[in-house]
Chains A and B, each alone.
Chain A
Amino acid sequence: MNIRIDALVPSFLEGKIPTGNLWAKQIALDDTGYFLINANSGKGKSTLLSYLFGVRKDYQGTIHFNNKNLREFNIDDWADWRSKKISMVFQELKLFPQLTALQNVLMKNELTKHFSLEQTRELFSRLGILEFLDIPCNRLSLGQQQRVAIIRALHQSFECILLDEPFSHLDVENASIAFNLIMEQCKAQNAMMILSSLGSNHGFNFTETFNLAS
């Protein structure tokens, strides 16, 4: 897929002079690129990703997915895209606190039928949280919850994955394991990755880096 961003200005920047190399610029993101959105807190990383996921619409300018304006997406289009073409790890994780780690993931997999239970357990094992499968999420640590959210996001086919500070609660070693797992899935599906970060590139050479503020 391709994403085209034209003269995008978020509502909190209206009337101000945008800085950085993304706001109010013309940008085209192609198929298999890996893109890093870099900025300090409060510069609009999450805002940008929520525009791309159709959660927020308070912007000027246009965003096109495969030449279709996001403003023309209806709720059925979004349901379709979110189950087949675009996935997201939220900064605030958005897990179901009363459900177990496994149930949280199955909630996605029942819709997409993407992995077998065996494969799901394998992912839990690789991220080192297999033993927490049946623990309700509200009793897991933030780092453990973050890995559950990553595993859930991988339980679907996607052409683009949006990662909003996905490793903020992980140590360097665990972040690297998780990053490699995501990268593996992106390569397998020829998918694009858009990752936001507070500055770290997680030791990876991204196709392009966007700074939201200079």
Chain B
Amino acid sequence: MIQNLLPGKHGKLQLWIVMFGSFIGLSLVMISTQLYFDFKNFLTVKSDFLSEQFITVNKKVNVLNTLLNSKSTFSQEEISTLENMPQVKQVAGFVSNRFRLKTSIQFAGQQLYSDLFFEAVPDTYLDIQPNNWEWDSVEGIIPIILPADYLNLYNFGFAPGQGLPQLTPDMISMATLQIQINGAGKERIFKGKIVGFSNRINSILVPLDFMQYANRNFSDALEPEPSRLIVASDNPADPALMKYFDEQGYELNNELLKNSKMQSLMRIILTIVLFLSAIIIALSLTGFVQFSRLLINKKEYEIRILYYLGYTHRFIASKYLIFYLRITGIVFVLSLLSLFVVQYFFGDWMTHKGFELESSIQLEAIFSGFALFAILVITGAWDIFRVTKKLAKS
């Protein structure tokens, strides 16, 4: 019998607008969460995502520079200007060797010789911290970090063609190099151990304290200005920073930065989308609340009589709650469907464009939609109880 009275008739158009608005809002949130996690898996490079990032900077080398013999090193002034940029947290110069350096290694039955160079940066700039990264002055053992690319180049480029075995980092760390250093009229033979491979820094690295020791002892030259810098920044793709680098004619290492740029672009787009959806959700929440209040107010006379007949406010509220759950539930299910549809077609399209995306629904996307649905329901239910209770008291 009660269904003849409650929740009562409502304006169809108004309901459609509220439902459509919240459908758009919910779908946007879920789809953008989905895309965010799709791209995040795709773009994340090593451990750098969302943390401090490092870039190496050098001056451009071109014909003109070489002819004019203009400086390709960074002066103290240039370094401190860079250090004072708001986007920059720390800057350090690469320290190069000022002595002659020769290495030999017994490898696959052959003695290989090579001229070599070393560079050093403070330990805090390294992406790996091998446990034997200590220069042992007594035994004369120098730990060395190589670029991860070298190992890949050897394993996948050089070794197969030469019929040589592929190597793992563990195997390499067991080999000992002979390192011959001379300069300032002195000469000494050290041992070298490769202790790790760096993704971040494309150079042959030794501990800074060894470099300082060797430069002091095997060179008469003064410490030159660094030609490469390593820069720690929260957001190296920041446009202002980019512009500055460009104006100064600095060059940056690339791959990391491309991803970083895409990430910050993604972050901006996502923030805008989330902001928009937040507004839409807030509007549709108010829409829903207003709508259910309107329904209740239209039936104020009837609801009062039902209270006089002995009905509880919980009973009255439940009639509105069921209706409210039904319309928000429909919106949630439709939004979920739109997520699946978009994911299906978008995943296809991206695969055609050559992106290897995980073409599955992200749990986070469903969760974000469900969380908003829960907020919608809880707020609406709370308001319905509040309004019906107020009627019962008056």
Chain B interface SS verdict (over half): helix
A176 at the binding interface (Cβ < 8 Å): no
Within 8 A of A (CB), among B372-394: 389, 392-393
**Which residue of B308, B311, B389 has the most chain A CB atoms within 10 A of its CB atom?**
B308
Q: Does A79 lie within 8 Å of B312, measured CB to CB? A: yes
How far apart are A22's CB and chain B's nearest CB, in angstroms?
Answer: 23
Are B310 and A82 in contact, CB atoms less than 8 angstroms apart? yes
A75 touches B392 (CB 8 A): yes
The 8 A CB mask of B14-48 against A (1 = contact, 0 = none) is 00000000000000000000000000000000000
One digit per residue, 1 when the CB lies within 8 angstroms of any chain B CB and 0 when it does not, for chain A 105-116 equals 011101110000
Neighbouring B residues of A112 by C-beta, 8 Å: 310
User: CA separation between A79 and B309, bound complex, in Å?
Assistant: 8
Nearest CB to that of B394 among chain A residues? A55
Q: Give the CA-CA distance A211 to B305 in the complex, in Å.
A: 29
Known contacts A103-B1, A106-B1, A156-B310, A75 near B305 by CB under 8 Å: no
Please report the C-alpha to C-alpha distance between residue A71 and residue B302 in the assembled complex, in whole angstroms: 25
Q: Does B309 contact A103, Cβ atoms closer than 8 Å?
A: no
**Contact: B392 with A108, CB < 8 Å?**
no
Contact with B along A134-166 (1 / 0, CB 8 A): 000000000000000000100010000000000
Mark each residue of chain A from 67 to 84: 1 if its CB lies under 8 Å from any CB of chain B, else 0: 000000001101111111
* CB-contact partner of B310 in A83, A99, A106, under 8 A: A83
For B, the interface residue count at a CB cutoff of 8 angstroms equals 18
The answer to whether B5 has its CB under 8 Å from any CB of chain A is: yes
Is there a chain B Cβ closer than 8 Å to A88's Cβ? yes
A103 touches B313 (CB 8 A): no
Bound Cα distance from A125 to B310, whole angstroms: 26
Q: Given A75-B392, A75-B393, A96-B302: A108 and B309 within 8 A (CB)?
A: yes
A82 touches B1 (CB 8 A): no
Decide yes or no whether A43 CB sits under 8 A from chain B: no
Return A53 CB to nearest CB of chain B, in Å.
7
State which of A76, A81, A96, A152 has its C-beta within 8 Å of the C-beta of B5.
A96
The reply to whether A53 and B309 form a contact with Cβ atoms under 8 Å apart is no
Q: B313 near A107 (CB under 8 angstroms)?
A: no
Q: Which of A75, A84, A88, A103 contacts B308 (CB 8 A)?
A: A88
List of B residues within 8 angstroms of A99 by Cβ: 4-5
Name the A residues within 8 Å of B1 (CB-CB). 103, 106-107, 110
**A75-B392, A99-B4, A103-B4 given; A111·B305 CB < 8 A:** no
Distance of B299 from chain A, by nearest CB (Å): 10
Bound Cα distance A171, B139 (Å): 124
Contact of A82 with B308 at beta-carbon distance under 8 Å, contacts A99-B5, A107-B2 already known: yes
Q: Are A84 and B305 in contact (CB under 8 A)?
A: no
Residues of B within 8 A of A103 (CB): 1, 4
Partner of B307, one of A79, A84, A152: A79
Q: Which of B2, B308, B312 meets A76, CB within 8 Å?
A: B312
A126 interface residue, CB < 8 Å from B? no
The answer to whether the Cβ of A25 comes within 8 Å of any Cβ in the partner chain is: no
Which residues of B line the A interface, CB within 8 A? 1-2, 4-5, 302, 304-313, 389, 392-393
Give A residues with C-beta under 8 Å from B. Answer: 53, 55, 75-76, 78-84, 88, 90, 94-96, 98-99, 103, 106-108, 110-112, 152, 156
Q: List 29 A-B contacts (CB under 8 A).
A: A55-B308, A75-B313, A75-B389, A75-B392, A75-B393, A76-B312, A79-B307, A79-B311, A79-B312, A79-B313, A82-B309, A82-B310, A83-B310, A84-B310, A94-B308, A95-B305, A96-B5, A96-B305, A99-B4, A99-B5, A103-B1, A107-B306, A108-B309, A108-B310, A110-B2, A111-B310, A111-B311, A112-B310, A156-B310
